[in-house]
Structure formats: C-alpha cells, structure tokens
Structure 1
C-alpha cells in the first residue's frame, strides 16, 4: 500500500522521534509519505517538529514529510494508521498519581495499582472522544494504541472501533526475545513461527509459561539453569528461586505485585518518583530545545540516553539486580508498532503479543474465566485482515487467573466510573484492587484523585 498517512496523537511527546526514525527506516516495507503530529501543546509540538526535521535531514534516503496540528479532526481525517500516544494530564498528572498513592503507603506507579486506575479515570473520557471521531472521520484506519494503562484504554476504544484498534507494549515481546536468546535461539524465532509461545495475562500482568520447539517445551530446562537465568532481567529482578516456584517467567511489572513492600520502600526512599524525574528531565529538554532549536535533535538524543539507562533503576537497586543489559536499553515499542503497521498495510505477516479482545478462533474466550469482550495480552498472528489471536495451549493456573480476574474487574469498574462520573464506582475500582488494602484508604484516594 503506497501513499500512507500516519497520524500520531500526542505528537509533541518525548518518544515521537523513535517512532519517526523507525517508520523512516522501514519505508521499503510500508511507505509512509506523511506523518501528522497532533498535540494540544503548541510549544511542545514546535520542538518535536524541529527534532523530526533535523532527524530527516540527516537520513540517508527519503523520509516522510511532517505536518503538525492542534485540531483532532484535521489530524485524523484521511489517516491510514493512527498511533495513539496521549498522556492526559501530562507528566505532572503522573507525578500526582504516584505521590497520592505513596502518601497512603501504597505503590505509587504509573500503570500498576491505584496510580494506573487514577490515570485511567481521566484518560477514558478523552479516548472515548477521540475514538468516536476516528470512527466518524477515518473508519477504515487502523488505530494502534500505546496509551497507558494499555488494557483499559484499548478496551474503552474498542467500544467505538471494534477490531480496528489494538494495544501494544514492548515488554512482553522483549521478555520473549530475551528468553529465546537465553535458549540459544534466534530472537526472531517466534515472529517467524519457528517456536510456539505460551504467554497470557493482561498488560503489565502476564507470564511466559512455555516455549515450544519441535514438540518440546524448552522453558523448564531454562528455569533449572542458574547461569542462563542470570542473563534474564526478570530473573535478576525477582530472583531465580521465585521464577522457578512460579514455573514461568513473569512480565517485569509483576515485581510490583510479587514484591510490593520492596517496591514501595524503594520508591519512597528516593528523593523523587519516576514521574518527578521525567517531569524535570523532559521539562529541561523542551526548554533547552526551544531556546536552541538548531540543537534540538542533539539535546533529544542525550536526554533519551539518560532516560533509558534509568528505567526501573530503583527496582533493580532494591533487588541488587545490577545494570540493565545493553540489549535491554532503548525501549522497542516503536519497532513493535512498525512491524504491526507493516503487517496491516504492507502485506507482511508477524507473530506478536498484543492487547486484543479475549475471543479465540473458535469464538470461545482465550483466557477462560474472563469475558470474551475483555482485552487481554496474548500471542497473535497479524496480517492485512487484522490481529488473529493464537490458541492458548492451556488455561492460566488458578492463582494467576485469580489475580488477572481481580485486576480486570477493577479495570472495567474504572471504565464505568470514568464514563458515568460515579465516585462510588471509582471507590469500588480502587478498593477492590489487589494492591489497595483498605476501603477507607480507597475512599481517600478517590477524594484526592478526583
């Protein structure tokens, strides 16, 4: 498909150049001619358009032209693909989500626990508005959502867009690729269909429970191998004994569920939360780039390097997990997005792990015990007809399913609360979450967040 228009919602966001460079590098796979940036902050939009212009000027071949706008209807009309990467409330909103929870002795994290539900409460009405306009103005477009919290946002957008919206996260596929390398297999073996992956859960709440090649599950052997596990970020973070007890490799965000006390203590011991660090760091970048537009790209690259090196640094320090491995730097969600776009528009076929409806090829729920219209994170095959979930070999273990069911129930309550503006439903969403230990505390959280 030629002459593709890609719209990025949240086009003034810090990570937009990663997407632009990945799209430009993949022009032989899917020829994006124009990238439209939408943002409600004109100053950030100007800075980011300048960064992309400089990135394009330094490219070896032709690159997509860039257009910036602050009008939603203008941005989505005519789009073939829409990347949704908005942050309602900005990074300042994230810092408040984190601090309010920490003030109650609870986990203060962007997507997991009370902070993630607070983020959802203010994000759902906005993505509802956006998805309704996409359905009206660009009904044939594919919407790829990076917006957190991914399970909740994708589920909300499906109300308007159905199967033409999918949620992406680079965390599960990064876990799969690390695991394949640890097994001595090519990192792309799953994508090519050479191995079968058993991964299931929700966004930031999933487990890799099997890696089958030639009819054999290779994961038990890996879990028994101390040397091989030492090379895996998740095992270093949570301990080889714990992953062996689970019989699975957990998504790294399971640290917040399985080591909640350690996580809260580690965050509380720091002078600033992750959100506060990013607020200061990015604020300094946008200010510096506005003052020196000729150095915008150079300033962005330096800021990015610091950002990636400090990702989950507090958690690794608390668990004495060491530095991030070189291959784990440079979050790859933009590469996942390009592979997805190349499959949807460019005639390729890819196997990925995405956030999609919990409906299998036979119409039955993929994750038994969850509703068919709930959004789950599972392996899929993607082609020009969309994302097709691959059948799960076995159900989730009861303890894993119980946690997934509890969190999904809270996610759905949060969607309902955001749409009905019900404080009582918001209270239920927070009080029922596994990481909130008191209904009284949950009520105070509602008062603080709303």
Structure 2
C-alpha cells in the first residue's frame, strides 16, 4: 500500500499533536511515512514538535518527523498539506475580541469584526502557502482549516483559482456529534442536509439510517439548544463559552423554527444578547490561553525537565475530520462531508461565485457538491448580505481600499450602525499595522 507524506502548515499550533495522533490512530488504513511541521515561529514549533515526536514514537517509530521554517523542506514532494495558520497568534486574537467588545460589538475570532480582522491578516499568508504548494508539491492537496474559512476561501477562489485546496470547518461536525448524543445514535449513522456560508448556515434535515429525525431534534433543541443530556448533569465543569453558545441555539430556533441554525449564527441574529453575556475583560482568547494552550505547554515543560511524556492535549473532532477528508481523497472513498466550495449552481438562487458550505462527496479528483433546492427569501437575503461583506473585505485587502473595508464592516450584521463600524475598523487598523496591507 502507498504511504503518504504529510506537511502541517502551522506546526506550532496547539492542535498539531492532536492531528498527528489522529493520523497515528489511522496508521493501518492511512499509512504515513513522513510528517513535516512548518511554522514561521521557530521556538514555538520546536516545543510543540517535542511532544508531537513522542506521539509518533508511541504509535509508529518508523514514521519520520521533522520541523522546519524552510518551505522547500516542508512541502517538497508532500502528498497532503494540512493548513492551520493563526496569523498573529492568540495575542492578536485577544485584540480581535476585546477591541469590538470595548465598543459594545460582538468580539469573536471568526465572526463579525474580529473575524474580519483575522481574515485580513490571513489572506496574504494563505496565498503564499498556495504558491509554495504549486512550486514544491504541485500534486498535493491542501486541506485548509485556517480561519476565517469563508474569507480565506473567497480570496483563494479569486486569486489562486487553480489551487488544489479543500476548505473545511469542524464546527458542523461538532454539532452533529451532539445531535447524535441527543437522539441516541452513533455519529457515523447521521447524514445531514445543510446550506449556507461558513459559520453562517442551517441544517434542513437530519437522517439516521435514512429516517428523518428532524422533528425530534427540533423539539429538544427548541427547549435545550445543543446542550446534551449528559452535559446538563454537570454544567459546572463544562466549557462555559460553548454552553452559552449551545443554549443560544434554542433562542434562535424559537425565533425561526424552520431549520436548525449553526451555533455561530448567534453572533449575527442575536448580537445584543451575545455582548451582554460576555466579560469584555476576559474573553474566549484568554480562556484558550489559560487552559488549552497552558495545558499543552505545561506538558512540554514537564517533558523537557523530566523526560516523562504527558499528553496535555486531545485529538477531538479537529484532528479526526481533517484525516478523514484526506483519506477520502487518497483512496477515492467518495465520503460525504460538509465542505466550503464554489457554488456554481449548487444552490440555484445564490451567485455562482459564492463560496458556500454544503454537502459534497470527496473524491480523488476533489469535491462533487450536492445539488440543492432554491432557498427561501429570508435565508437568501441574510446570506447575500454576509457574502457581500466577505467579498468586499477580500477586495479591500487585495486593493488596499479603506472605502471597501468600511463597506464590508457596514454590511456586517454584528454592527448596530455605520458609525460604530467605522470606529471599530479604525481601531483595528491601528492594532494590525504589522499585519494588514495599508488601506487608503
């Protein structure tokens, strides 16, 4: 059986050990000969590599693993490039969240002004990554987790239309896992119908072994959201941010009960509630740094001092999803996933060049999107407004246009007014001087 070479762009991410462990757990079905970690932050990557190497040694010491800041060494001859860039790190994520909150606006890493700031930082490095792949690994598939996925996907569609890339997001998978818990089935027994943009979509039906369970889920989620019965028993030790998000699903569903909303729609449909629920002095970025990041680096420090390997991380859906997608490409499995793809008529009454998130079958030649029915006017209107905001932001970044950036912010539903949008944009420009193109 063929063995595969995997490059991980963003090798210093806290998610890297989990992705590598997910690869190792699939070593029989998806044999890997080499894993190369690539990051521009050499010291951070060195530390993450220490624990990642331990994972490989535990499961398959024959796999060669290396870490580099040289793109040629990282990508040359790779079969797959797993991309998970966080440009500016968690320090900039904290600013993405706190600057909007200081102005009474949603502060979130991928949605609203925080996501737009993150997008403006990520477009250039992602285009550069596509160029590295084209030069050093022209046959490789890039499987991209880098956020905000909708903005990144639009920039690549526009500027690198021939790139061999699949843009994915594990948020719908996380929701499906909770749906499986709620209705009492296994995750792999669920199949969904879904439409929208990334972090801006709706489940229109949920099937278990071909039978719709939509009515049952709608009834439960209207009351409890996505908080599962098991979570309800011990809310004290659950992730507070996700408990709020999953509870807010019930609020949205009571307002618009036709479909099951993505939990991220809360930032656009009930932004006032979101702002009221948050502590603007201690945001999700702080919680991630104080928990997931701290746990991993504590385990790395323990390894360096004692030689004892403690994981300090989990595989989670982030790792398993990207590996499953790679396997479907590698072996032409034609598995059905939710992907971000160019519309091209899949949703008949949305623009052909919209990067939509819909079901698609993943083959060795790429995705084969499922054709859907026209969507209702309410959903079409919401999606087209958000789509226009994302497209204008990409144009602003590529053209260095302040006016288009302001238009993008003005269209985003997280803002109460254009005046507030301008204030937040100007503060984010100042905070992102090191990363954004100049806007004139």
TM-score range, shorter chain: 0.7 to 0.9
Does residue 1:253 correspond to 2:264, yes or no? Answer: yes
CA distance change for structure 1 residues 445 and 342 in 2, over 3 Å: closer, same or farther? same
Deviation at 1:261, TM superposition (A): 1.5
Match of 2:417 among 413, 416, 438: 438
Change (3 A) 1:180 1:289: closer
Whole-angstrom distance in 2 between the partners of 1:41 and 1:356:
31
CA drift of 1:296 comes to 8.1
Measured in 1, the distance between the counterparts of 2:225 and 2:101 equals 31
- Counterpart residue number, 1:324: none
Is the contact between residue 7 and residue 82 of structure 1 (CA under 8 Å) also seen in structure 2?
A: yes
Structure 2, unpaired ranges of 5+: 229-244, 430-440
Among candidates 359, 367, 371, match of residue 347 of structure 2:
367
Q: Which runs of 5+ in 1 are unaligned?
A: 306-329, 360-364
> Once the two structures are superposed, what CA deviation does each residue of 1:402-435 show, in whole Å capped at 9, x if it has no partner?
1111111111111111111111111111111111
Please tell me whether the aligned partners of residues 96 and 107 of structure 2 are also in contact (alpha carbons under 8 angstroms).
yes
336-345 vs 126-135, greater mean Cα deviation: 126-135
TM-score (norm 1): 0.83
What CA distance in whole angstroms lies between the structure 1 residues aligned with 2:417 and 2:225? 37
Q: What residue in structure 1 maps to residue 432 of structure 2?
A: none
After superposition, where does 1:167-316 map in structure 2 within 5 Å?
Answer: 167-190=167-190, 195=191, 197-212=192-207, 217-224=212-219, 232=227, 236-239=247-250, 242-243=253-254, 245-267=256-278, 269=279, 271-281=281-291, 282=293, 286=297, 289-290=300-301, 293-294=304-305, 298=309, 301=312, 304=313
> Structure 1 residues 285, 149: closer, same or farther in 2, change over 3 A?
same
Partner of 1:316: none
What residue in structure 1 maps to residue 24 of structure 2? Answer: 24
Structure 2 residue matching 1:332: 3-state secondary structure: helix
Partner of 2:378: 399
RMSD: 2.7
- Equivalent pair of 2:225/2:248 in contact (CA under 8 Å): no
Q: Using the TM superposition, name which of 429-438 and 290-299 deviates more.
A: 290-299
Structure 2 CA distance, aligned partners of 1:402 and 1:225? 28
For 2:380 and 2:273, the matched residues in 1 are separated by 24
For residue 18 of structure 1, give the secondary structure of its aligned residue in structure 2.
helix
Contact 2:253 2:259 in 1 (8 A): no
| Contact 1:38–1:69 (Cα < 8 Å) also in 2 | yes
How far did residue 56 of structure 1 move? 2.3
TM-score (norm 2): 0.85
Q: Deviations over 1:64-115 (max 9, x none)?
A: 3211111223312211100110111111111111111111110000001011
Report if the CA contact (8 A) 1:344-1:385 is conserved: yes
